[in-house]
Amino acid sequence: MTRPPRFMLLTLFITTVMASCTGGSPADVGEVPGHADLRAEIVQLRRDVVLERVQVALRNNGPEEVVVERLLLRAPGFDSAGPVPKDSPVPPGQVVNLPVAHGDVRCDAAGAPVTRGDALVIVWVRSAAAPEQSRTRLTARDPQGYLRRIATLACRQRRLAGEVDLRFGSAWRPERTPDGVVLHGSVEARLLIDEPRDVTQVGGTVIYGLLPDAPADGVPDPLAALTPQRPTASVPVKVVASRCDGHSIGEVKQPYAFLVWMGEAGSEGTAVQLEVEPASIRALQKVCRL
C-alpha cells in the first residue's frame, strides 16, 4: 500500500486538532495567532439592493478588539469585486456589518445561477496583541440564502432581457402643469421569442416617477400582452418629477434606472431595467435637470 506524503499527514493532523478545539468544522472559524476567532455571516439590508452589495456580519468571539483592514468576498456564481479597504474595529463579543459588493452574477447556458458551495470571506486583521497584519479565511454562513436569491433574480432578469426588447419610444411630448413638467411618451416592447410574455407594470427612479398614461377607461391589465402573432406593443407612459432637490440629485447613482415588470403570460412579472437612449435622456431633463 502506498503511504500518503508526510505533508498530507501533517495537514490532516492540524485540521483534526482545530476541529476538536473549536467544536466545529475549521472552515467555519477563522483563527490567527494573536487574534480573536471570527465568524462571518451574509446579510443584506434594503439599501444594499440598489447598491448591488451585501454585508458581511463579522462576529468577534475572542477576548480583544480586532481591526479589519481589508475584506474580500468570494461567492460561488459571482465574479469577485476584489478586496475592499476597511478600517473597522470589531470589539470582543460584538458583531459589525461590513458592506462589500457581491460582484457580477454568472449564469449557466440555461440561464440558471451557479451558486453551489459556500461563500468565502478573507479578512486582513490586526490587534493590539498582534499589530502585524494577518490574513484569515472564513466560510460565511448565509442562512437566509441572500446570495442564492440575488443570483436567481439576476439570471432571471438577464434571461427576460433576451426575450423582450424594452425601450422608451422616440416621441416625447412635454406638458407644463402647476406641479411642473409632465413628459408624455411610450415604452416600446418587442417580443424576441416564440412564447407569449406580458408587460405588467412600470416604475420610476429616485429622481423620476414613471406611470402608465392611462386612457379614460383606466389602465389595462396587463399593460401589454405580447404573442408571436402580435409581437410588438406601445405602452403609453408619463414621466413626472419625484425628487428633484439638490440632495437627492447629489446622492443618486442611477438616475435613469427605470424598471418594467415583464414575464410569462398571466404572471406578475419580474422587474427588468429599461433601455434609455441619449435622446430620451435629453427629453427627461426637461422634467428634472441633473
- Separation CA 239–CA 27 (nearest Å): 51
Q: How many Cα neighbours within 13 Å face the side chain of 191? A: 20
Q: State which CATH number among 3.30.10.20, 3.60.20.10, 3.40.1390.10, 2.60.40.10 fits the domain covering 21-150.
A: 2.60.40.10
CATH topology of domain 162-284: Immunoglobulin-like (2.60.40)
Q: Are domains 21-150 and 162-284 of this chain identical in fold?
A: yes
- The whole-chain average pLDDT of the chain stands at 84
User: Of 2 and 157, which is predicted with more confidence?
Assistant: 157
pLDDT tens digits along 226-271: 999 999 999 999 999 887 766 555 556 678 889 999 999 999 999 9
What φ, ψ does residue 245 adopt, rounded to 5°? -75, 160
C-alpha distances in Å from residue 157, one per residue of 12, 104, 146, 154: 44, 13, 16, 5
By the 8 A CB rule, do 104 and 121 touch? no
pLDDT tens digits along 13-56: 333 333 333 333 333 444 444 455 899 999 999 888 878 899 99
For the chain, the structural domain boundaries read 21-150, 162-284
Q: Would the pTM count as exceeding 0.75?
A: no
